[in-house]
Amino acid sequence: MGLLGAHVSTQGGVQNAPERGASLQCDAIAIFTKNQRQWRAKPLKEEEIEGFKENMKRFGIEIALSHDSYLINLGSPKEEIYRKSVEAFVDEIVRADQLDLPYLVFHPGSHLGEGEEWGLKKIAEGIEESLSRAPESRVMLLLETTAGQGTNLGYTFEQLAAIMDMVGDRERLGVCFDTCHAFAAGYDIRTPEAYGETFDRFEEVIGLRNLKAFHLNDSKFPLGSKKDRHEHIGEGEIGIEAFRLLVNDRRFEEHPMILETPGGDVWYSANLKVLRDLIQ
Ligand code: MN
Ligand code: MN
Ligand code: ZN
């Protein structure tokens, strides 16, 4: 089994997240290090940073991941938005580093009509520029697999590999596999055969050594629908079998597996229990 957990709230400050995670029996947590719907945020205070680190130990959370703001689009053809995105992304990297987080998960970006090839290049440029502005950073940036809604990029393994190859510093990049998104993008994991094929494909195109984390979500919409709507584990179009395969996959034993299911804390507890009951 991986390190199971959920994306928890940072209400009252990032230092409160570990206790919330522990109260839900999480081994791993994901957080926003700032309000995910605002461009700017005050820098983290020393007591928030220290409090977070202390509480990670005190409450026994093994790993915490950061998720970037929803406003950031490193693929934007609008220069002003692109600039703001790079600024905000650099700030995300700095915050993750201050909190000693090993991974920052981010949505690659949307081309908004300029075309996929153009968008992939723009995103790679944005990542490269952001990394070059945080040269001391130790956080690894994890590109999240996307559903391919609208003009979002990153919905094929080939697109993710293309971005990673274009960025000079490949060592600072990895992938977060979101089960709902990948399924909506057309990657089936519902049977042992389909599951095997999907991860064989991942190995061929990106390399499983670059797969560092999972978002565990069932999907409201069918395979290949390109719609990003999360459902409770086992209650959606993916179904329970895929999650049984994942939590028992020896290759992913040390991987954080983060729930982003709807409904908040009560439902996280229920979903975590469903996942733990699958472990053989
Ligand atoms: Mn995400
Ligand atoms: Mn996700
Ligand atoms: Zn999603």
Instruction: Summarize pLDDT for 195-214 with one digit per residue, the tens.
Output: 999 999 999 999 999 999 99
Geometric angle at alpha carbon 216, from 214 and 217, rounded to 5°: 140
pLDDT at 1 over 80: no
Is a pLDDT exceeding 90 seen at residue 247? yes
d(CA 273, CA 104): 26
**Can you tell me the mean pLDDT for 162-179?**
95
The pair of structure tokens assigned to 248 is: 């028992």
Which bound ligand lies closest to the C-alpha atom of 147? 3
Which sign does the torsion angle of CA 76, 79, 81, 83 carry?
Answer: positive
> DSSP of 178-194, one letter per residue?
EHHHHHHTT---SSHHH
248 — pLDDT class (breaks 50, 70, 90): very high
Query: Mean of the per-residue pLDDT values for the chain?
Result: 97
Query: 181 phi and psi, to 5 degrees?
Result: -65, -50
Q: Which ligand is nearest to the CA of 143?
A: 1
The CA 257 to ligand 3 mean position distance, Å, reads 14
What's the CA-to-centroid distance between 115 and ligand 2, angstroms?
23
pLDDT surpassing 90 at residue 36? no
Domain 3-277: CATH superfamily is Divalent-metal-dependent TIM barrel enzymes (3.20.20.150)
Query: What confidence tens digit (pLDDT) does each residue in 127-152 have?
Result: 999 999 999 999 999 999 999 999 99
Q: Which residues are annotated as catalytic?
A: 37, 67, 70, 107, 144, 178, 181, 215, 228, 230, 260
Widest distance between CA atoms in the chain: 51
Residues 230-258: what's their mean pLDDT? 98
Give the per-residue pLDDT at 169.
83
Q: pLDDT band for position 189 (50/70/90)?
A: very high
> What pLDDT sits at residue 192?
98
State pLDDT tens for residues 85-132.
Answer: 999 999 999 999 999 999 999 999 999 999 999 999 999 999 999 999
Using CA atoms in the order 75, 137, 177, 221, what is the torsion angle rounded to 10 degrees?
Answer: -50
Q: How far is the CA of 217 from the centre of ligand 2 (A)?
A: 8
Torsion angles phi and psi, residue 5, rounded to 5:
-175, -160
> Which numbered ligand comes closest to the C-alpha of 67?
1
**pLDDT tens digits for 46-69?**
999 999 999 999 999 999 999 999
Ligand 1 mean position, distance from CA 47 (Å):
28
